[in-house]
A and B are shown apart, each in its own frame.
Chain A
Amino acid sequence: MATRQTRILAHAATAPSTLVLFLWMIVPLAMTIYFSLLRYSLLDPGNESFIGLVNYEYFLSDPAFFAALFNTLKLVGGVLLISVVGGILLALLLDQPCWGRGIVRLMVIAPFFVMPTVSALIWKNLLMHPVQGLFAWIANLLGLQPIDWFAQAPLTAITLIVAWQWLPFATLILLTAIQSLDEEQKEAAEMDGTPPLSFFFYIVLPHLARPITVVILIETIFLLNVFAEILVTTGGGPGNLTTNIPFLVYAQALLQFDVGGASAGGIIAVILANIVAIFLVRMIGRNLEA
């Protein structure tokens, strides 16, 4: 609904953004694909040669890759489980009448605004340290053996830290969704004498289905890329117990200087992320229509 003139202006107005985003997406991706087909080491510059899919073969037959893939899946799965289930419970709780709800809300949301390097180091040292950490002290008080988190259960430790960062996100979105549940619907259910549990399963949960999906998809996109938390706590170790795919690619490229191999890993990560992204984009697209 506009004139030719406005439409021309509109094209001119979107062009710069479209152009820079296109370049930002396509140039690195094309270069990564190209590198992934080369024998290319930063230690041996100038001696690049085309080797086809060898890097992929190498990467896909490397046990470290599968370890990283499983670590990625465990990390993503664990954080999703904690943040979504916890998020639903928290959202239900915060929807209850409560004095000082605004302040409680702020406290619950706060971890989301903490930069990843800070939360990782605070948890690792102040809370999870096997001797001087607060958790160890609490365990001793209760007469339990303190856990040496980063030696005994390093991936679980990282999962907990990342979950702490993402729980607020899930809570906030699910709380917004619960509050958008029609007040009259709640009153109608009350008039019908619906018991709280049935009310939750038949009315609240179906209403939350969509936001839950959105939370899962968006978190997955970000969780596939967890990096800083691993870098500053374990450096991928011990062994490769906490190496996920982004960290593996980083280590291959910038610690072992194998550009070709790392690029193949990067492309595999892109493919994984795209599987999730397709679902997410479709969902957002459907919402745009409405």
Chain B
Amino acid sequence: MKHIADWALNVAALRGASYADARLADDRSRGLATKNGKIGHAADSESLGIGVRVIADGAWGYAASDDLSRSAVEATAALAVEIARASSRVKQSEVRLAPEKAVSAEWTTPFQIDPLTTSVEQNLDLLLKIDSELCAVKGVTLAETNMNFRREEQWFVSSEGSNIHQTKYTTGVGYAAHAFAGSDIQKRSYPNSFGGQWQNKGYELIGELKLVENARRVGEEAVALLKADQCPEGVFDILLDGSQLGLQIHESVGHPIELDRVLGMEANFAGTSFLTLDKLRKLRYGSDLVNVVADARQEHGPGLGTFAFDEEGVPAQCTPIITKGLFTGYLTSRETAHAIGANRSGGTLRAEGWNRLPIIRMTNISILPGEKPLTREQLIASTEKGIYMETNRSWSIDDKRYNFQFGCEVGWELKNGKRTRMLRNPSYSGITTEFWNAMDAICSRDEWVLWGTPHCGKGQPQQVMGTGHGAAPARFRGVKVGSAYKGN
């Protein structure tokens, strides 16, 4: 494939580009789903193409094509230069890239079983088995399961001499039971909502999740929610399970630390950020227990943000984002690093596919587990009065990432260290920094899971990206609960 990319780089240079890179990507995926005992869908997809990114006259141009013939690739590169020249008509300054050493490398997601080689028949049988367990619960009115696999093979070549071949594997699986009665629809999901658990892993993930073993409980909880008491409104200590805390990190840490947002580059769509540049190494983001990293390295785990190199050839790194509560880092790229005085990109430029321009995206934005041993049950036992919330149901946050509101599928009232009753429609809301400063306990490594958020949207044209979020159950003191239902 390198020779195809070289066609593009040669034409870009001939047309006057001062920098060019080309990404060829071969993307293969499979989606399987069931609904109420029947196959919902079975589908395979493949997409192969090239994207050419150039700087000419100090401005960016990008062109992408599905046609890999020499004439089409050269025309695509020429168009990228033409577009860059048009961009240069409306600019305030020249694009500057932080230096990066050229590298030649090969990398593949570590995996045991290539998911795309596994038996479709057996996978559908597994989903139908889960489906039947859910449907066996009286009162479950809708059962849904899904299993998804993806392989993204990419060749990155730059005019600075980089030549990187990477292949990433992703596996995702999950299910949900819905129950409708009277005037209420309730839902429970496993292992997480909105598609379950996703990791950069092979098929072995499926076997790790005890999918069938949990199905009956999940169905029963969905039905039980119909008769559960409404979650009260007021100020409470709340405990969040790891998957909900992962989404809380995504929305109230991961997005505001994107330096392109901070610099106004997403102002028209995704928004900006309250984390203006003056707050770096000064803002008390959270309590002393809050330690968050952006870690794309393999040693962090098989997250959806794990890779060896980002989409402009920068090696995966670990950046401290919040250190003992202090705000210490942004997500950066070669173009934006200089804005915070960094001499190198943090390596977070990512693209959905060959036909999308790489932009700053979360990698694995994870809160580190507590250092003192603390299990979830011990955390609950140490809570005199509170509400434990599990599994996200709704999420919303303002365009600077201050005010958020989350709903969860199920709540549990806690009294004197014990779960006392199930609560339906739990929700909580707050202001980002006030919330993180209210964290007074987080479970230790044994409870820490690297969750996947597979469908994060950003950019124009919009791109969907998978991000990773390591989290363990944690407790927050004095949080506003129940505003979602106030006045309705």
Say whether A associates with B. Answer: no
Interface residues of B (CB under 8 A from A): none
Interface residues of A (CB under 8 A from B): none
